[in-house]
Structure formats: structure tokens, C-alpha cells
Structure 1
Amino acid sequence: MLNQTEILHHVVQGSPILLFAYSVSAREVLFVNEAYERIFPQSRRDTATADLPALLRCLPPEDQQYALGCLTDLANGELQDDLLLRMQLEPNVPLRWLCVRAHRAVASDGQVLLCGSVQDVTVDHEYTRNADKFMAKKNTTLEILSHDLAGPFNMLQQMAGFFQEKTQDLHDPQLEKMVQVMQDTCRDSINLIREFVDSEFAESASVQLKRARVDLAASIRQVMDTYQQSEHLVNKRFSFSSTPDKVYIELDNNKFLQVMNNLLSNAIKFTGEGGHIAVTVVQHPQHVLVTVADDGIGIPEKLQPVLYDRFTKARRPGLRGEKTTGLGMSIIQALVRLHGGGIWCESQENAGTTFFIQLPTEAPRPISS
């Protein structure tokens, strides 16, 4: 009969996932299984402690301090989500993505341990990254199409109203019915387009955040590229800048890009033909500041205090008659707050509006009891 220790030995050694135990007190790797040499082919199990500095140098510079900070927090007793790290073991070799899961433990002799696993998740990460990329592009394209398609329908609705006015004296029931059908069809089509886009956004508020460390500047730049390629469709100019060029932060990328799309959609609705919409990202020591600025018609001062209320009295149709539910800004505020951030605006009538979003550089982590 096999004992539990022998069974556990076979399970651990046969695992494709790297399992480890590290003594924080002794600064020594106490155990790694055979998967260590499969994930790090240039290393050996018996040199795992000595390998650590070299492995750390295989991380991109912006990831090194992040990884050390997270592991230090964990060693001090703070709970930690999965740690996703990029690693390049050799020059000119594609980056690999490693998922580190660890927990703090105290051994019977009082040593503080970090125990957990390391798994190569490159394939899964690339799949998710591509899915996120196309999701963001889909949402951006929907916003652009909603404005592009609503424009002709608005024009046809106005023309139908003109025809109705000019043909009243004819007293032709069939003609009056046809003109009314034109007006109703245009109105319903505009509402249908906007309701479809709004429902996509509204659903996001009820979904739990899935945080990951992302380059926020790169994500927003990708969205802005799509808007810039479609400037001729909405007759607006778009610009983007980031300081520095790469800004890493922990957030739910899909949800935050939905926030950005909704703010950009509002800017388009209330900015006249040929107007300018600018997005900036600025890294500060403890937070990241994102701004969305337009030179549109602005928000009346009396409406600004109720801007984030559900079904707010501040809701207004767009310059081309675009419908609004009054829910958009309340959902935006809810999603920003879920990220531990804040949102506010500065606006002046006929001089444009700027929205500011402040996000903490690192997501707040609960402390273990």
C-alpha cells in the first residue's frame, strides 16, 4: 500500500506546472519540482537559489520592480492576485508569459515561506489578448457606425417633416400616410441603433472586474487609431498623447475601454462638424490621469451637479438628434469607482468639455487577518 507521502511525491514530480517553496527568512529556494527545468531550460533544480538574480534580469525592466514589490507585499502578509509576468530567456526570442500563484506560510520552525506555482500561459494570454483587441475594436466600430448611420436617418427625418409641411394643403391621405411612415421609420431606426450600442455598454456594469496589468497607453492608442481612421465618417479630428509612452496599471482592460468609448461617443455627439477631440494619458507617482477633451458645445453649469445621476436631468439629445438614456455617465462613474478611481469634468458652454479620470497605479489589495 502506497503511503500519502509517496503518492504526493509522484503527483508533484509529474506535474507540468512548476511548484516551489521559498524561504523568505533564509532567502533560499527549498523546493522546486521537475517542471522547473522544463520552463527554464538553462537552469537546474539544484541551482534554483543561485538562478534567481539571472531569472529576474530576464524580465523587462518595467516588470522587475513590479514583481519584487508584489512578492514583498505577499511576504509581509498581504493577499495577492495572480502575478502575470513577461519573460525573455534569450535575446531575439519572443516573450513568454508566466503566471505566478503564491501564498504565505509559516513553517513549524518559524520560517516565513512563499509557496506556490509558476505556469507558462503564453498561448492562453495571446488568445485573450487577441480577443480583447477585437472586442475593443468591435465596441469602437459600433460607436462610429452609430453616429455614421444615425446622420442620414436624421436627415431623412428632417426631409420627411419638410415634405409633410409642404403637402398639407394637398389633403392626400395616402401621401400623408407615406410621409408619416418615413418619419416613424427614421425615428425608430435611430433609436434602434443607439439602444443596441447602449445595451452593450450597460451590461458591463453588472459584470465583476477581471483585473490584469496592462499597458494602458497602448490600449487607448489602439482605440484612438480606429477613431482616427474614421475621421471622415464623423467629420471630427482625433488626437492622442501619452507621458511616458508606456503606462502600466492594473485594471479590467475591456471595461475601461468601454468607459473610454462612451466618453468619446459623448464627445462626438456634442462636438460640431470639424471639431477636435483629444485624449491624453499622464503617469504620476501614485496615479494615472486620463483626459478626454473636446471643443464642443459644453455642459451648462446648472446641469453639471446632476451629470452622474441615474436617468439624470442633464441628458440631452446630440447635435444630430442622437437619443440618450441618461444612464451613460452613471455607469461610467460606477466602473471608474470599481477601479478605485475618480472622475470629474470641467466644462463651459460653447467652449468645450474635459473629463478627467484618475486611477491608482496599483489596485488596492485587502490585508489578510
Structure 2
Amino acid sequence: MLDQLEVFRHLLEGSPMLLFAYSVSTGQVLYVNDTYERMFPPGKLATVNDDLLWLLSCLPPEDQQYALSCLSDLAKGELHDDLLLRMQRQPNAPIQWLCLRARRSVASDGQVLLCGSVQDVTVDHEYTRNADKFMAKKNTTLEILSHDLAGPFNMLQQLASFFQERTQSLQDPQLEKMVNVMQDTCRDSVNLIREFVDSEFAESANVQLKRARVDLAANLRQVMETYQRSEHLVAKRFSFRSTPEEVYVELDNNKFLQVINNLLSNAIKFTQEGGHIALTVELEQHHVLVTVTDDGIGIPEKLQPVLFEKFTKARRPGLRGEKTTGLGMSIIQSLVRLHNGTISFESKENQGTTFHIRLPL
């Protein structure tokens, strides 16, 4: 009859997941299964404690302090989330993504332990990253198309109104009916385009966030590159700046990019042709600051206090007649708050608007 220790040995050894027990009290690895040697060659089980500094050095410099800080919080029992870390054992080697799960416990002799697992999630992470990339591109393209397609429909609606005025004296019922059909078709088409784009965003606030540590600057740069390639379609200029070039933040990438897309969409609505829209990322002491700035018509002072309310009285059609539900800014604020962030703005009529989003690092 197998004893329990032998059963556990068969379960642990040969597992695709690295399992470990680390003593915070002594700074020593008490146990690690043989997956360690397969996951981190040329590391050896016998030298695992000597390898700790080497393993830390394999993390990119911006990840090293993050990892140490998170492990310190884990040791205090203050952190319960999975840790997603990058590792590169050689300068030109591909990035390896690791998911570390650990919990704090106290042994019978009083030692504080961290027990958990490390899993190579490189394939899953790259799959998710590519999915996020194409999702962001899809949302950005839809926003651009919605503004591009709405313009001709609005122009046709204005022409139909002009024809209606000029043909009233003819008192031709069939002609009047045709003009009314033109107006209704144009109006319904514009509304359908906006409803199609807005429907997915309206559901965002009701979905639980899926956080991951991402390079926010790289993701926002990619979004703005799509807008920049489409400047001729929306007749606006777009610019992007990030200081520094890489800014890592824990957030739900899809949801936050929806927030930025919506702010950019609003900027397009209320900025005249030839106007400028800028997106910037700046690193502060404890936060990352994201700003969306336009030189459009601004927000009237009387509407500013109610801008973030649901079905706000501040809703108004865009310069090209774009429809609005009055829910967009409320959803944006909800999603920013779910990220433990804040959003504020400053605006002057005929001078433009700037939105400030601060997210904790």
C-alpha cells in the first residue's frame, strides 16, 4: 500500500507546473519539484538557492523592483492576485511569460512560508495579446468608419431638407413622400451606425475586469497609429507622446482601450475639420497620467457639472450630427473607477477640452 508521501511525490514530480515552498524567515527555498530544471535551464535542484539572484537578473530591469515589491506584499499577506512576469535568460532570447501564484502560510515552527506554483504561460499570453491587438484595431476602425460614413449621410439629409423647402410650392404628394424617405433613411442610417459602435461599449461597465500587467504606452501608440493612418477620412490630425517609452500598468487592456477610443471619438465629434487631437502618457511618482486633448468647440460651462451623469443633460449631437445617448461619459467614469483611477477634465468654449486619467502604478 502506497503511503501518502509517495503518492504526493508521484503527483509533484514530472508536473508541467513548477511547485515550490519558500521560507521568508530564512530566505531559503525549502522545496521545488523537478520542473525547475526543465523550466529554467541550466538551473539545478541542488543549487536552486544560489540561482535566486540569477533568476531575478533574468527579469527586465523595470520588472525586477515590481517582482520584489509584490513578493514582499505576498509575504505580508497583502496580495492575492496572480503575478505575471517576463523573463529573458539571454539578451536576444525570446521573452518568456510566467504566471506565479502563491499564498502565505505559517509553519508549525513559526516560519513564514510562501507556497505556490509557477507556470509558463507564454503561448496563452501571446494568444491573448494578439486577440487584444486585433480587438483594439477593430474598435478603432469602427470608430473611424462611423465618423467617415456619418458625414455623407448627414450631407444628404441636409440636401433633402433643401429640396423639401424648394419643392413645397409644387404640392406634389409623391415628390414630398420621396424627400421624406430620403430624410428618414439618412437619419436612421446615421443612428444605426452609432448604435452599432456604442452597443459593445455600453456593456463594458457590467463586465468583470480581467487585469494583466501591460505596456500601456505601446498599446496606446498602436491605437493612435491607426487613427493617424486615417487622418484623411476624418479630416483631423492625431499625435501621440509617451514619457518614458514604456509604461507598465496592471489593467484590463480591452476595457481601458475602449475608454480611450470613446474619448477620442468624442474629440472627433466636437473638433472642426483640420483640428488636432493629442494623446499623451506621462509617468508620475505613484500614477500614470493619460491625457486626451483636442482644440475643438469645448464644453459649455453650464454643462460641465453634469457631464458624467447617466443620461446627462450635457449630451448633444456632434458637429456632423452624430447621435449621442448620454451614457458614454458615465460608462467611461465607471470603468476608470473600476481600475482604481480618477478622471477629470478642463474645457473652454471654442478653445478645446482635455481629459486627464490617473491610474495607480
Query: Could you state the TM-score of these two structures normalised by the residue count of structure 1?
Result: 0.97
Matched, 1:329 2:317: no
Equivalent residue for 2:292? Answer: 292
The code of the aligned residue for 1:86 comes to R
Equivalent residue for 1:11? Answer: 11
Matched, 1:212 2:212: yes
Q: Quote how far apart the aligned CAs of 1:216 are.
A: 0.9
Q: Quote how far apart the aligned CAs of 1:200 are.
A: 1.2
The CA distance in 2 between the partners of 1:294 and 1:104, in whole Å, is 48
Q: Quote how far apart the aligned CAs of 1:358 are.
A: 1.0
Equivalent residue for 1:151? Answer: 151
Equivalent position SS for 1:105? strand
Matched, 1:234 2:234: yes
Equivalent position SS for 1:38? helix
Equivalent residue for 2:116? Answer: 116
Q: Quote how far apart the aligned CAs of 1:288 are.
A: 1.0
Q: How many residues align?
A: 361
User: Unpaired segments of 5 or more residues in structure 2?
Assistant: none
The code of the aligned residue for 1:208 comes to Q
The CA distance in 1 between the partners of 2:114 and 2:300, in whole Å, is 56
Q: Quote how far apart the aligned CAs of 1:79 are.
A: 2.4
Instruction: Trace 1:1-369 onto structure 2 (pairs within 5 A).
Output: 1-361=1-361
Please give the per-residue CA displacement for 1:191-217, whole angstroms capped at 9, x wherever unaligned: 000011111111111000111111111
Please give the per-residue CA displacement for 1:276-331, whole angstroms capped at 9, x wherever unaligned: 00111110111111111100000011100000000000000000000000000000
Equivalent position SS for 1:101? strand
The CA distance in 1 between the partners of 2:85 and 2:287, in whole Å, is 21
The CA distance in 1 between the partners of 2:91 and 2:331, in whole Å, is 45
Equivalent position SS for 2:50? helix
Please give the per-residue CA displacement for 1:5-46, whole angstroms capped at 9, x wherever unaligned: 211110011211000011111111111111111101201011
Equivalent position SS for 2:178? helix
User: Unpaired segments of 5 or more residues in structure 1?
Assistant: 362-369
Does structure 2 retain, via aligned residues, the 8 Å contact 1:23–1:30?
yes
The CA distance in 2 between the partners of 1:314 and 1:349, in whole Å, is 14
Does structure 1 retain, via aligned residues, the 8 Å contact 2:70–2:79?
no
| Consecutive aligned runs of 4 or more in structure 1 exceeding 3 Å deviation | none
Does structure 2 retain, via aligned residues, the 8 Å contact 1:70–1:80?
no
The code of the aligned residue for 2:204 comes to S
The CA distance in 1 between the partners of 2:200 and 2:53, in whole Å, is 46
Equivalent position SS for 2:238? strand
Query: Could you state the TM-score of these two structures normalised by the residue count of structure 2?
Result: 0.99
Segment of structure 1 superposing worse, 295-304 or 79-88: 79-88
The CA distance in 2 between the partners of 1:96 and 1:154, in whole Å, is 51
Equivalent position SS for 1:281? strand
The CA distance in 1 between the partners of 2:357 and 2:53, in whole Å, is 38
Please give the per-residue CA displacement for 1:95-127, whole angstroms capped at 9, x wherever unaligned: 111111111111100111111001111000000
The code of the aligned residue for 2:51 comes to D
Does structure 2 retain, via aligned residues, the 8 Å contact 1:314–1:326?
yes
The code of the aligned residue for 1:317 comes to P
The CA distance in 2 between the partners of 1:346 and 1:164, in whole Å, is 41
The code of the aligned residue for 2:267 comes to A
Does structure 1 retain, via aligned residues, the 8 Å contact 2:153–2:190?
yes
The CA distance in 1 between the partners of 2:106 and 2:331, in whole Å, is 43
The CA distance in 2 between the partners of 1:154 and 1:208, in whole Å, is 37
The percentage of counterpart residues that share the same residue type is: 78
Q: Quote how far apart the aligned CAs of 1:4 are.
A: 2.1
Equivalent position SS for 2:65? helix
The CA distance in 1 between the partners of 2:92 and 2:308, in whole Å, is 49
The CA distance in 1 between the partners of 2:61 and 2:277, in whole Å, is 33
Equivalent position SS for 1:21? strand
The code of the aligned residue for 2:17 comes to I
The CA distance in 2 between the partners of 1:175 and 1:271, in whole Å, is 36
Q: Quote how far apart the aligned CAs of 1:90 are.
A: 2.1
Does structure 2 retain, via aligned residues, the 8 Å contact 1:315–1:326?
yes
The CA distance in 1 between the partners of 2:179 and 2:276, in whole Å, is 37
The code of the aligned residue for 1:294 comes to D
Does structure 2 retain, via aligned residues, the 8 Å contact 1:17–1:119?
yes
Does structure 1 retain, via aligned residues, the 8 Å contact 2:277–2:292?
yes
Q: Quote how far apart the aligned CAs of 1:77 are.
A: 1.7
